[in-house]
Amino acid sequence: MNPINDLAILSPWEPGLLSLAFYALMVFFVVAAMLFFAARLGKGQPAPGKLEPYESGVRPTGSARFPFPIPFYLLATFFLIFDVEALFILSWAVAAEPLGWKGWMQITFFIFVLLISLFYLWEKGGLEWGPKSPRSPERPRR
């Protein structure tokens, strides 16, 4: 193994800081040139047609702002929660052997907590998306 001297780092024949600095400088100049030419050549006159939103060739009517129903946000939140759950379980499955029994106990606890939260969500009616049907009177719990 040869020792690295100070001049070898700056040599263009050796991979080192000089080639990295040259690459970064070239990237900076290319980006600066593209931004400069876009600003100088891309100036146009705003027209009313350019300021309208493009809706696949159909003229927009009315406001694009409308309230989303609450179940939409609930569904998005549940998707994120259970998607992250799947990611954790998959990553555990990849590394299950080196984690051993300690990892198995931890993922079992994780799944148990998620199942409890799913049952709680189910009990509270968070998974009911359709219109509410008339229910029979609730029976008192014993």
* pLDDT tens per residue across span 78-118: 888 888 888 899 999 999 899 999 999 999 999 999 899 88
Token pair in block for residue 4: 């690295």
User: Which residues are CB-contacts of 89 (< 8 A; sequence separation ≥ 6)?
Assistant: 107, 110, 111
CATH architecture of 70-124: Up-down Bundle (1.20)
Q: What is the pLDDT along the chain (142 residues), one digit of tens a residue?
A: 566 566 665 666 666 677 788 899 999 999 999 999 988 887 777 777 777 777 676 776 777 677 777 777 877 888 888 888 888 999 999 998 999 999 999 999 999 998 998 888 888 877 777 776 666 556 665 5
Predicted TM-score (pTM) of this structure = 0.44
The residue to which tokens 């690295």 are assigned: 4
Mean pLDDT of the chain: 79
Domain ranges of the chain: 9-40, 70-124
